[in-house]
C-alpha cells in the first residue's frame, strides 16, 4: 500500500501519470511521448507511416500480444534512431517488428526497436524483414557509432534475452576511416550487460572505410553472449579505402565474428555460417573475432563456418575465434578457413611484414584452452610475399604476460596448407609460438589427426635470408613451450620451398628450452621435403654468395631440437621419408641436406628415451654444393647436442645423386650408421640403430662415411650398438667405424663400448678410423661384430644386461632398450567427450620386444607398445591409433568412436527413431546428437514448457503461464498466475485491465477497491511519519526538497468524489468507481 502511494506521488511530481493503454494505430503509439511510463498493449497490428520520428523515452510496459509493428523509414535529427529513442527500465514482451526499411543519414545509435536500452526486459521479441542503412561518417559527431537490427546500444544488470532476428541487413558507409562502427544483427554495442537466448538468421553485409566491429548477434560487447544462435546464410564485411591495406590485425581495426565481433565470452551458443567473407586487414572467428581479457570463460559452444578472408596485409582467423585473450573450455569448431594475403614485397630496410595466421579452432591464442575440438575440412593460409602460419587447431600460440595452457583438445583435418612468400609453417595442431616476454606455455593431453599437412614458400627471388618452409604433424615452430602426452597421426606431411625446408611427423623446430615428452607421431603414407637453393639470400649479395648452413631435411618425429630443448620418451613412425634437393652449382656456401629416423638436427638440445620406426628413407641430390648428413637416428648433432637412450629402426635407406655436369662427385657432409655428423662437444650414448637392408648410395662418393658416425668433429660416442651396412660403394668398400675426423681437435673426441656390424666379405673391421692417434687411444673400445654375435649377450663387454637400467636382452632376439615412452599423465585432469586420458593399465615402465617383432621386417612394432594405444572413447572400449584407426565398442564408430550406430544398440531415446538403412538416429523436434540425447532447449525446459521451433535452426522454451524463461529452461515463478505473463520470481505482466499484486498474480481491479476515506486516513498517518523523516534528512540530501513537495501535495489531496482507485504494484490510475478505492 505505502509503495503504491509513494510511486503515485513520485510519478505526479515528475509529470508522468501511468495509465493502462490499448494501442490500435500509429496515433496511439505516438501518444506514448506524453505517457512514457504507461502499461501498453497492442490491440491490433500497427503500420507506421514513412519518416517515423522516434518516441523519445519509454519506461513502461509494452505487451505486443503477438501483434506486429511495421516500419518503413525514420527521421531523426539528434543521432538516435528507432521506434523508440530510449528504453529505460521498460518491459517489452510478445512483440513483432516487420521492417522494409531504408535509413539514410548520420547517427550515433540505431536499432529498429530502440536506439538505446537501459535495464530493460525483453521476452519473445521478433524483428524481421529487410534493413538497409546508408551513412556518411565523420568525427564529430561521434568517434563510435553503433547499429543493431534490434537495439543500437544496450546496458543493464539483467541479461537481454528471448530475441529473434530474421533480417536481410545491409550497412553501407562512406567518409571517415577512423570512426569505430559496431554492427550486430541483434545489438550494435553492449556495455555491462549480457545477451541470452538471442537468435539471428538472414544475412548481414557491411561495406565502407570505417573501423568495423561486426557480429552475427552483437558487434561489440564487454559482457557475455549466452545460449544464443547465429545462423545467417551470409555474413560479408568489406573494408574499403587505404586504411584497409595498412596496419596490423592486432590493432583490431576490422574485427568480425559469427556471433560477436568483440566480446568477453561466448557460452552455450552456436553459429552456422555457410558463407563468411571478410576483406581487409582483420581478425576473424566463427564465433568471436576477439575475446577480451577478463574473468569470464567461453564454454560449451560450437561453430560451423566457412571463412574466407582476403587482405593486402595482416590476417588472423580461426574456426571458433580469431584471437582469444580469455579462457575457452568445451567448445568445438568445424568448417573451413581460407586466408589469402595479397601483400607487396618488403623493401630490404623493412624487417617486419604482414602475418597470415590461421587455425582450425583459433588464429591466435593468449589464454588457456581446455576440452576443445576442431574438425575443419581445410585450413589454408596463403601470403603472396610475406609469412604464413597455419595450424589444424591454433595458428599462433601468443604468450603475453603469463604462461598459458592448452590441454585435453584435438584437431582432425583433411588439409592444412601454409604458403608464404618468405616462409610458411603448417602443423596439424599448432603452427608456431610467439612471445612478447619469456613466459612458458604448455600443451598436454592433445591430439592431431591430419590427412595432408603442406607448407611452402615461393621466395625464389626474395632477397632475404629467412626463407623457410616447415611442415609437422603436431607443432611447427616452438619456443619456451612444454608439451606432453600428445600425438599426431597424418597421412602426408609435405614441405616445399627455398633455403630452409623441413618436415617431420611431429615437430618442425623446437627451440629455447622447449620440451616434448610422452608423445608420438605416425605418418601413414609419406613425409616429403623438396628444397631449391637457387638464388642469393642476403640483401646486397650477388648470385655467387650465400650464408652458411642453410638446410633442408626431415625425420619421423622432430626436425630440429635446438637451444637447450629436449625430447623425452617419444616415438616416431613413418611409412617413408623422401628428401629432394635442387641447387645451383654456381652458388657458394653450405647447403645442408639432413635426414634422420628420429631427428634430422640436434643442436644444443637433447633426445632421450625415444625411438623411431621408418620403413623407407630416400634422399635425392643434384648439386655438388649440397652436403648430406644422414643417420639412422639423427642426421646432425652439434654444439653440445645429445642423443641418449634412443633407438631407431629403418627398413630401407637410399641416397642418389643425379647431375650430368658431374660424374660421381665427392660430396662433403657425413653419412653414418647411427648419426651422420657429430660436432662440437656433442654426445651419442646408450642407443641402438638398425637398418633392415643395407644403406644404398649411388651417383656420388661420400667424403665422410662411417659405420657408426660419418663425421666426428669432436664429441663423445659411448655404449651404442649399430647394426647397419652399406652397398653401392665399389671404390670404397664398407666404411670404417668413423668416417671423417677433425684432426686439429681430435683430443676432444671420445669413444667407448661401441659395437658395430661386421658385414661378411668386407674389410670394415680393420682400423676403426683413418687416424692412428685416435685408434691407439680408443681402438679397444670399438668392437666390430658379426650378425650372429649381436644376438649373444657375451658380445657386449661392459654391458650387464641383468642389472643394466638402459639395455635389455633375452635369448630370442637382439638387444632392446628399457624405459621407453610410457605416456605418463602429469596431470590429474582427464579427457572429456571423445578423448580420454591414458589408461593406467596401458602404461608400463619397461618395454620388451622379441626378435621377430623388432629386428625383423615386422610391421607390428607399434602394436607391441601398449602404452601407445591407451586413449579411450566416450562410448567405451580402447581406441587404437595403429595408425589412426579406432577399435570402438559395439554401437560406436568413426574418429574417437564418436558416431553412434543405433542398429547395434537400438537406442535413440524417447524422442528419436532408428533408421535401419543408415544406422543413424532420426531425432524429434528440438533434439540432436547421434543418439538424440541432446536437446536444443536444454533439460527439456524443466518440464515447465515446450521446446518450440522459432525458425529453421532456432529452438526455444515456450514456458507455461506460471513459469518464466531462465537460461535454456523454464522456472516456476508465478504460482496460480492467470491473465498475464510471468517474467520473474513473483513478477508478472498482466493483461489489461488486470493488475499485478506484486506476488506473481494478476487480479481484477474490482477485487482490490477500498473506501477512499480509509485510504485518505492512511495517507495522513504515512505523511506525518514521512515529514518527520524528511526534517532529519534534508541536511544530508539536497534532493529531499523534491520529496517534501510530494508530501505537501499528498496532504492537500482531497476526494473529488466519494471513491477513487489506485493500483498497488504499478500505481496506475484507472477510471473512477462509485464505492471503492484500490489499495
| Residue that wins the pLDDT comparison between 458 and 436 | 458
Do the beta carbons of residue 435 and residue 827 sit within 8 Å?
no
pLDDT of residue 226: 92
Do the beta carbons of residue 716 and residue 683 sit within 8 Å?
yes
Residue 845 has pLDDT above 50, yes or no: no
pLDDT of residue 140: 67
Residue 392 has pLDDT above 90, yes or no: yes
Cβ neighbours of residue 641 closer than 8 Å, sequence gap 6 or more:
561, 602, 603, 604, 605, 606, 682, 683
pLDDT of residue 953: 63
pLDDT of residue 248: 84
Residue 587 has pLDDT above 90, yes or no: no
> What three-state secondary structure class fits 425?
strand
pLDDT of residue 12: 43
Residue 842 has pLDDT above 50, yes or no: no
Question: 125-148 burial string, b = 16+ CB within 10 Å, else e?
Answer: bbbbbebbbebebeeeebebbbbb
pLDDT of residue 638: 92
Mean pLDDT of 209-213: 94
Which helix (DSSP H) or strand (DSSP E) does residue 93 occupy? strand 91-104
Q: Quick one: what percent of the chain has pLDDT higher than 70?
A: 75
**Largest separation between any pair of C-alpha atoms in the chain:** 130
pLDDT of residue 310: 95
Q: List pLDDT tens digits, range 525-561.
A: 999 999 877 654 444 444 444 445 578 899 999 999 9
Residue 955 has pLDDT above 70, yes or no: yes
pLDDT band at 856; cut points 50, 70, 90: very low
If one counts every other C-beta atom within 10 angstroms of the C-beta of residue 258, the result is 36
Q: Quick one: what percent of the chain has pLDDT higher than 90?
A: 42
pLDDT of residue 698: 93
Cβ neighbours of residue 1055 closer than 8 Å, sequence gap 6 or more:
1012, 1013, 1016
Q: List pLDDT tens digits, range 629-650.
A: 999 999 999 999 999 989 898 9
pLDDT of residue 485: 86
Q: What values do phi and psi take at 744, rounded to 5?
A: -70, -15
Residue 11 has pLDDT above 50, yes or no: no
Question: 459-475 burial string, b = 16+ CB within 10 Å, else e?
Answer: beebbbbebbbbbbbbb
Q: List pLDDT tens digits, range 592-624.
A: 899 999 999 998 899 998 889 899 999 999 888
Q: List pLDDT tens digits, range 284-342.
A: 999 999 999 987 899 989 899 999 999 998 999 999 999 999 999 999 998 999 999 88
pLDDT of residue 18: 66
Q: List pLDDT tens digits, range 1026-1061.
A: 455 544 454 454 455 444 444 444 433 333 333 232
Per DSSP, the residues of 475-542 read: EEEEESEEEEEEEEEEEEEEEEEESEEEEESSEEEEESS-EEEEEEEEEEEEEEEEEEE-S--STT--
Mean pLDDT of the chain: 79
pLDDT of residue 506: 96
pLDDT of residue 243: 85
pLDDT band at 35; cut points 50, 70, 90: confident
Q: Output the pTM of the full model.
A: 0.83
Q: Cβ-count burial of 106 within 10 angstroms (0-12 exposed, 13-18 middle, 19+ buried)? A: middle
pLDDT band at 19; cut points 50, 70, 90: confident
Q: List pLDDT tens digits, range 370-382.
A: 989 998 999 999 9
pLDDT of residue 579: 95
Cβ neighbours of residue 902 closer than 8 Å, sequence gap 6 or more:
891, 908, 912, 914, 915, 919, 920, 921, 931
pLDDT of residue 1029: 52
pLDDT band at 514; cut points 50, 70, 90: very high
| Residue that wins the pLDDT comparison between 208 and 860 | 208
Strand blocks (E) in 224-349: 224-226, 229-239, 255-257, 260-263, 265-267, 270-279, 282-285, 288-291, 298-299, 302-311, 315-318, 321-324, 328-329, 332-341
pLDDT band at 883; cut points 50, 70, 90: very low
| Residue that wins the pLDDT comparison between 223 and 915 | 223
Residue 348 has pLDDT above 80, yes or no: no
pLDDT band at 437; cut points 50, 70, 90: low
Q: List pLDDT tens digits, range 223-276.
A: 999 989 999 999 999 999 988 888 888 889 999 999 999 999 999 999 999 999
Strand blocks (E) in 366-440: 369-370, 373-383, 387-391, 394-399, 405-407, 410-420, 423-427, 430-435
| Residue that wins the pLDDT comparison between 282 and 136 | 282
HSE-CB of 730 using CA atoms within 13 angstroms: 4
Task: Flag the least confident range among 19-33, 665-679, 723-737, 930-944.
Answer: 930-944
Amino acid at each position: 500500500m505505502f509503495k503504491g502511494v509513494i510511486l503515485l506521488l513520485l510519478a505526479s511530481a515528475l509529470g508522468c501519470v501511468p495509465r493502462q493503454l490499448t494501442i490500435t494505430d500509429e496515433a496511439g503509439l505516438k501518444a506514448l511521448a506524453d505517457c512514457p511510463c504507461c502499461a501498453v498493449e497492442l490491440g491490433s497490428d500497427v503500420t507506421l507511416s514513412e519518416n517515423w520520428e522516434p518516441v523519445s523515452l519509454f519506461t513502461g510496459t509494452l505487451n505486443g500480444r503477438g501483434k506486429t509493428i511495421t516500419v518503413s523509414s525514420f527521421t531523426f535529427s539528434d543521432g538516435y534512431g528507432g521506434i523508440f529513442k530510449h528504453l529505460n527500465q521498460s518491459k517489452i514482451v510478445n512483440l513483432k517488428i516487420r521492417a522494409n526499411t531504408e535509413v539514410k543519414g548520420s547517427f550515433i545509435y540505431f536499432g529498429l526497436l530502440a536506439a538505446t536500452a537501459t535495464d530493460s526486459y525483453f521476452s519473445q521479441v521478433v524483428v524481421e524483414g529487410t534493413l538497409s542503412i546508408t551513412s556518411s561518417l565523420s568525427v564529430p559527431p561521434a568517434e563510435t557509432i553503433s547499429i543493431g537490427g534490434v537495439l543500437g546500444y544496450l546496458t543493464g544488470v539483467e541479461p537481454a534475452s528471448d530475441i529473434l532476428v530474421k533480417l536481410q541487413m545491409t550497412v553501407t558507409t562512406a567518409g571517415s576511416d577512423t570512426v569505430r562502427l559496431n554492427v550486430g544483427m541483434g545489438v550494435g554495442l553492449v556495455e555491462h550487460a549480457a545477451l541470452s537466448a538471442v537468435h539471428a538468421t538472414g544475412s548481414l553485409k557491411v561495406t565502407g572505410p570505417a573501423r568495423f566491429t561486426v557480429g552475427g548477434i552483437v558487434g561489440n560487447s564487454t559482457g557475455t553472449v549466452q545460449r544464443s544462435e547465429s545462423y545467417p546464410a551470409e555474413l560479408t564485411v568489406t573494408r574499403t579505402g587505404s586504411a584497409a591495406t595498412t596496419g596490423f590485425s592486432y590493432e583490431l581495426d576490422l574485427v568480425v565474428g559469427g556471433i560477436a565481433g568483440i566480446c568477453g565470452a561466448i557460452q552455450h551458443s552456436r553459429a552456422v555460417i555457410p558463407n563468411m567473407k571478410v576483406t581487409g586487414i582483420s581478425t576473424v572467428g566463427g564465433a568471436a573475432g576477439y575475446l577480451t581479457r577478463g574473468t569470464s570463460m567461453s564454454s560449451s559452444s560450437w561453430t560451423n563456418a566457412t571463412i574466407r578472408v582476403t587482405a593486402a596485409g595482416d590476417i588472423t582467423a580461426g574456426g571458433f575465434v580469431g584471437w582469444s585473450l580469455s579462457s575457452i573450455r568445451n567448445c568445438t569448431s568445424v568448417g573451413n578457413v581460407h586466408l589469402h594475403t595479397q601483400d607487396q614485397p618488403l623493401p630490404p630496410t623493412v624487417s617486419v611484414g604482414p602475418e597470415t595466421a590461421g587455425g582450425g579452432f583459433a588464429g591466435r591464442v593468449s589464454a588457456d584452452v581446455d576440452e576443445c575440438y576442431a574438425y575443419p575440412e581445410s585450413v589454408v593460409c596463403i601470403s603472396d610475399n610475406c609469412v604464413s602460419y597455419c595450424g589444424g587447431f591454433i595458428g599462433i600460440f601468443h604468450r603475453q604476460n603469463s604462461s598459458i595452457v592448452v590441454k585435453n583438445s584435438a584437431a582432425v583435418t583433411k588439409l592444412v596448407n601454409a604458403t608464404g612468400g618468405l616462409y610458411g609453417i603448417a602443423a596439424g595442431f599448432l603452427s608456431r609460438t610467439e612471445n612478447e616476454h619469456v613466459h612458458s606455455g604448455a600443451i598436454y593431453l592433445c591430439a592431431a589427426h591430419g590427412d595432408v599437412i603442406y607448407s611452402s614458400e615461393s621466395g625464389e627471388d626474395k632477397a632475404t635470408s629467412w626463407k623457410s618452409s616447415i611442415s609437422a604433424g603436431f607443432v611447427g615452430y616452438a619456443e619456451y613451450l612444454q608439451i606432453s602426452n600428445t600425438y599426431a597421426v597424418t597421412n602426408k606431411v609435405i614441405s616445399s620451398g627455398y633455403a630452409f625446408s623441413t618436415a617431420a611427423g611431429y615437430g618442425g623446430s623446437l627451440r629455447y628450452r622447449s620440451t616434448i615428452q610422452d608423445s608420438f607421431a605416425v605418418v601413414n603414407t609419406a613425409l616429403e621435403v623438396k628444397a631449391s637453393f637457387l638464388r642469393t639470400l642476403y640483401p646486397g649479395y650477388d648470385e655467387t654468395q650465400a650464408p652458411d648452413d642453410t638446410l633442408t631435411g626431415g625425420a619421423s618425429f622432430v626436425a630440429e631440437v635446438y637451444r637447450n630443448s629436449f625430447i623425452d620418451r617419444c616415438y616416431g613412425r613413418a611409412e617413408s621419408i623422401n628428401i629432394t634437393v635442387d641447387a645451383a652449382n654456381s652458388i657458394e656456401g653450405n647447403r645442408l641436406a639432413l635426414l634422420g629416423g628420429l631427428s634430422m638436427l640436434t643442436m644444443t638440445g637433447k633426445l632421450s628415451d625415444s625411438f623411431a620406426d621408418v620403413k623407407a628413407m630416400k634422399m635425392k641430390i643434384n648439386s655438388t654444393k649440397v652436403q648430406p648428413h644422414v643417420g639412422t637416428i639423427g642426421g646432425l648433432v652439434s654444439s653440445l647436442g645429445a642423443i641418449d637412450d634412443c633407438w631407431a629402426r629403418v627398413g630401407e635407406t637410399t641416397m642418389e645423386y643425379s647431375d650430368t655436369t658431374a660424374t660421381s662427385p665427392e660430396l662433403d657432409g657425413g653419412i653414418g650408421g647411427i648419426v651422420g655428423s657429430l660436432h662440437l662437444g656433442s654426445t651419442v650414448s646408450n642407443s641402438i640403430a638398425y637398418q633392415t637392408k643395407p644403406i644404398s648410395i649411388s651417383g656420388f662418393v661420400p667424403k665422410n662415411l662411417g659405420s657408426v658416425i660419418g663425421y666426428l668433429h669432436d664429441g663423445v660416442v659411448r655404449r651404442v650398438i649399430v647394426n647397419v651396412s652399406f652397398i653401392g660403394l665399389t671404390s670404397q668398400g664398407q666404411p670404417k667405424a668413423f668416417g671423417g675426423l677433425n684432426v686439429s681437435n681430435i683430443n676432444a673426441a671420445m669413444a667407448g663400448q661401441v659395437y658395430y656390424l661386421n658385414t661378411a666379405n668386407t674389410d670394415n673391421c680393420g682400423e676403426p678410423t683413418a687416424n692412428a692417434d685416435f685408434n691407439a687411444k680408443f681402438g679397444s673400445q670399438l668392437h666390430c661384430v658379426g650378425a650372429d654375435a649381436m644376438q649373444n649377450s657375451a658380445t657386449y663387454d661392459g654391458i650387464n644386461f641383468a642389472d643394466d637400467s638402459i639395455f635389455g636382452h633375452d635369448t630370442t632376439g637382439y638387444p632392446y632398450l628399457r624405459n621407453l615412452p610410457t605416456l605418463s599423465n602429469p596431470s590429474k585432469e582427464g579427457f572429456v567427450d571423445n578423448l580420454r586420458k591414458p589408461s593406467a593399465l596401458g602404461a608400463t615402465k619397461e618395454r620388451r620386444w622379441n626378435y621377430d617383432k623388432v629386428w625383423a621386417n615386422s610391421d607390428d612394432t607399434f602394436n607391441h607398445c601398449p602404452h601407445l594405444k591407451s586413449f579411450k572413447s566416450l562410448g567405451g572400449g580402447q581406441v587404437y591409433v595403429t595408425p589412426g584407426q579406432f577399435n570402438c565398442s559395439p554401437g560406436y564408430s568413426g574418429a574417437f568412436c564418436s558416431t553412434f550406430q543405433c542398429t547395434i544398440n537400438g537406442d535413440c531415446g524417447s524422442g528419436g527413431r532408428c533408421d535401419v538403412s543408415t544406422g543413424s538416429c532420426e531425432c524429434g523436434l528440438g533434439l540432436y546428437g547421434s543418439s538424440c540425447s541432446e536437446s536444443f532447449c536444454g533439460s527439456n525446459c524443466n518440464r515447465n514448457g515446450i521446446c518450440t521451433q522459432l525458425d529453421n535452426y532456432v529452438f526455444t522454451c515456450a514456458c507455461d503461464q506460471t513459469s518464466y524463461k531462465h537460461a535454456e529452461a523454464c522456472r516456476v515463478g508465478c504460482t496460480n498466475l492467470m491473465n498475464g505473463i510471468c517474467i520473474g520470481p513473483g513478477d508478472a505482466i498482466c493483461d489489461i485491465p488486470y493488475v499485478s499484486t506484486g506476488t506473481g498474480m494478476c487480479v481484477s481491479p474490482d477485487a482490490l477497491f477500498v473506501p477512499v476515506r480509509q485510504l485518505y486516513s492512511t495517507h495522513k498517518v504515512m505523511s506525518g511519519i514521512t515529514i518527520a523523516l524528511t526534517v532529519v534528512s534534508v541536511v544530508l540530501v539536497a534532493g529531499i526538497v523534491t520529496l517534501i513537495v510530494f508530501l505537501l501535495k499528498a496532504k492537500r489531496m482531497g476526494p473529488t468524489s466519494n471513491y477513487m482507485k489506485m493500483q498497488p504494484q504499478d500505481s496506475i490510475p484507472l477510471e473512477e468507481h462509485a464505492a471503492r478505492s484500490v489499495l
